[in-house]
Structure 1
């Protein structure tokens, strides 16, 4: 029987199903890197050595892809604890990258009126995840030299009483590792709020830990309101999307309750286990990247038009005369970097360079030296 005549739905009217703030957002954009030297996304530039590639292929091929992930995830938990030195009495939860962990934290803590606080400029997903969860986001500006403004952070914590305070260690996109004394003041300010009846958590985000000179992990146990988050993306496994977070067991348990079941696939699990068994190879790669970072910093110091800021990550923030023009000029030479000048006023005319392979860094140095010695013509609108 034919359906009765229905009033057609206007396509634009269907947009009203979505929240107004979501409709006003922009999806995360990934640049097309085909054919370019890719120095825009802070990835480890090294591929696995051929012998390890073959071994990994043999390891993955017999996996039961027709089954949901099973108890093998427990082996990954144990391997991560051994690798990172996480005490047995601390909790551990895994995420599909640290992005998912940030989202899970916001979901679990999104009481009406709850606030997320973080220094800015910083990792964009702190603000995005807060907004999606319906939380208020408060960004506290860094100093002009991209240092943590401890006075401003403490004042903001007292005023806004945040449920979650994110501290990137090192920061993205500025790449620096903030002074521990300043971070201690932030951690204490959140503890003081809790003592006054307004509890909150501090999340130390160590995404770039493989390239940093120190870690906050040994201090977490002494601060019950501090959780620590890491990812294997910068370790060398950006493609498998695996993050982990540790801290007081009963707090981690609450985050685990909102984690989707089977969020870590059997392929991701086995690839991560394989990588941790060969952690020495990834540690070797990290040492090369750190040495290349220093070489890039030395080269940038010889370019009068460029100012490189201190880095403890696998990226370098550089202020140039015209970020948009430098981005386009390098792209025309086959090198893809990140123009970060737009998100925050402190980043005016800044670009972010990922540390690549030695040959890629050679090409970047030569191209950047040439670009900065020529008149820059910004792209036409």
Structure 2
């Protein structure tokens, strides 16, 4: 049987299912509600038209890395581009993990940390957040060292809670954990604080960034930022030509005009405040404070609430088990989308 050639350790895996996308209101994927403006799209059209299609892309994505380094206030030797930050997570796993190595992460947190750990032959160790969905920092450090983990992954702000770990506590974790520490700053723009300035202070620190939350989800571009020693090791595993020429060209245009990003983020933050205020007035909803482009809410019956929203062609993120079983993660939408959600978010016990 052909199944005899399959990996036994992946027998219980399910393929990642992002779900269908043909909803009238899409508030489930933490995308930006703003598309690029007409003037910018025309610039991109000219760039795409002038692209060289018969040659491989720049293997190191040098231009876009240089521009992002300036945007992130780092040196260009400290940055690597990836096909989304997902690929950066995969590169980290395949660079450092041997079969049976342990990796620590919060629970809940971004699911791809555990998935890529397993695919690389590692063992994910989940550390549950407390009842307030906050991290016991000292307990986490103790667990990581006791279990002798090789990598720690922490999204900050956290996905899906929207909560943050303070800079002081991030530094405690970097200094206290005897392993590589990966801080995923996918939602940095909505929080405004970073640990990227410490990449050369700590030899065990890696920072991840993405363009997917700031209006460029379609081009699949992420960045890995770290010191020279770790970077040289990671480059051994990075696939050649991993970021295509069109993505590089589009991103280069955008990062030449970072004010486009700042304006987009500002509009999202305005809508986050609006949605928070309106949701807080609905009896029966518990809100968790968010420093991201989404809000996590707890409702009496999340399954029924989501079904009712789906019936109105509104999609939000739901969770089937654990602390978030009765929670919905609602991406910040446009004013029209947010009002549509508010009109239809009737609660059931």
Q: Evaluate the alpha carbon distance shift between residue 213 and residue 92 of structure 1 in structure 2; reply closer, same or farther with a 3 A threshold.
A: closer
Tell whether the 8 Å contact from 2:268 to 2:293 is kept in structure 1 after alignment: yes
**Is 1:120 aligned with 2:107?**
yes
Counterpart among 148, 153, 178 of residue 165 in structure 2: 178
Is residue 332 from structure 1 mapped to residue 311 from structure 2 by the alignment?
yes
TM-score, normalization: structure 2? 0.96
- Choose from 123, 129, 151 the match for 1:136: 123
1:312 to 283, 287, 291: 291
Q: How far has the Cα of 1:166 moved from its partner?
A: 0.8
Q: Return the offset for 1:224.
A: 2.0
Match of 1:207 among 186, 192, 201: 186
After superposition, give the CA deviation of every residue in 1:112-163 in whole Å (9 maximum; x if it has no partner). Answer: 4311111110000000000000011101111111111113202211211211
Distance in 2 separating the partners of 1:97 and 1:103: 10
Matching of residue 225 in structure 1 with residue 178 in structure 2: no
Counterpart contact for 1:148–1:182, Cα < 8 Å = no
Q: Which residue of 2 aligns with 1:292?
A: 271
- Aligned twin of 1:346: 323
Alpha-carbon distance in 1 for matches of 2:59, 2:15: 35
What is the distance in 1 between the residues matched to 2:292 and 2:32? 11
* SS of equivalent to 1:302: coil
Distance 1:83 1:180, change over 3 A: closer
Contact 1:301 1:308 in 2 (8 A): yes
**Structure 2: which 5+ runs fail to align?**
none
Partner of 2:71: 83
Match in the other structure for 1:9: none
Structure 1 contact 148–179 (Cα < 8 Å) conserved? no
What is the aligned residue count?
A: 349
1:261 aligns with 2:250: no
- Residue 6 of structure 1 corresponds to which residue in structure 2? none
1:106 match:
93
Quick one: distance in 1 between partners of 2:99 and 2:317? 36
Deviation string 1:31-77 (CA, Å, 9 cap, x unpaired) is 21214211100001111111111111111112111211137821112
Map 1:235-274 onto structure 2 (within 5 A): 235-274=214-253
Query: Which residue does 1:5 correspond to in 2?
Result: none
Kept in 2, the 8 Å contact 1:157–1:189? The answer is no
Match for 2:151 among 158, 164, 168? Answer: 164
1:74 aligns to 2:62 (yes or no): yes
CA root-mean-square deviation: 1.5
CA contact (8 A) 2:150 2:180 kept: yes
Q: 2:53 aligns with which of 59, 65, 70?
A: 65
TM-score (ref. length: structure 1) = 0.88
Q: Report if the CA contact (8 A) 1:201-1:226 is conserved.
A: yes
Unpaired segments of 5 or more residues in structure 1? 1-12, 194-199, 377-381
116-125 or 66-75: bigger deviation:
66-75
Separation in 1, partners of 2:127, 2:221: 29
Counterparts of 1:247 and 1:35, CA distance in 2: 39
The offset of 1:24, in angstroms, is 1.4
Aligned: 1:154 with 2:117: no
Task: Specify the structure having the higher radius of gyration (Cα).
Answer: 1
Q: 1:303 to 1:113 in 2, by over 3 A?
A: same
Distance in 2 of aligned mates of 1:23 and 1:239: 31
| Conserved 8 A contact 1:226-1:247 | yes
- Which has the higher mean CA deviation after the structures are superposed, 16-25 or 65-74? 65-74
Q: Distance in 2 between matches of 1:120 and 1:149?
A: 12
